[in-house]
A = this chain, B = another copy of it.
Amino acid sequence: VTPHTPLGTGKEFDAIRAMVARWGASADGIGDDAALLDAQPGESIAVSTDTSVENVHFRRAWLTPEEIGWRATTAALSDLAAVGARPLGVLTALTVPPSWRPELDALSSGIGAAVAAAGTRVIGGDLTSGGELSITVTVIGACTRPLVRAGARAGDDVWVTGHLGGPGLALHAWQSHREPPAAARARFARPEARIAAARWLADHGCTAAIDVSDGLVADARHVAMASGHVLTLHLDDVPCVDGADALAAAVSGEEYELLVTAAAGAIDAGAFARASGVALTKIGAVASGTPGVVVLRGGNRVEISAGHDHFSA
Taken together, the copies of this chain in the complex come to 2
Check if A124 is an interface residue, CB within 8 A of chain B.
yes
Instruction: Find A225's partner among B6, B95, B141 (CB 8 Å cutoff).
Output: B6
A234 and B149 alpha carbons, distance in the complex (Å): 57
Cβ-defined contact, B34 with A39, below 8 A: no
Check if A306 is an interface residue, CB within 8 A of chain B.
yes
| Given known contacts A36-B46, A47-B37, A91 and B138 CB-to-CB distance under 8 angstroms | yes
CB nearest neighbor in B for A80: B34
Contacts of A34 in B (CB 8 A): 46-48, 79-80, 82-83, 85, 139, 141, 146
A65 nearest CB across to chain B (Å): 17
Cβ-defined contact, B33 with A37, below 8 A: no
Cβ-defined contact, B148 with A56, below 8 A: no
CB nearest neighbor in B for A45: B37
Check if A134 is an interface residue, CB within 8 A of chain B.
yes
A18 nearest CB across to chain B (Å): 11
Contacts of A139 in B (CB 8 A): 34
CB nearest neighbor in B for A131: B132
Query: Can you list, as one digit per residue, whether each of A104-123 has a CB less than 8 Å from chain B (1) or not (0)?
Result: 00000000000000000001
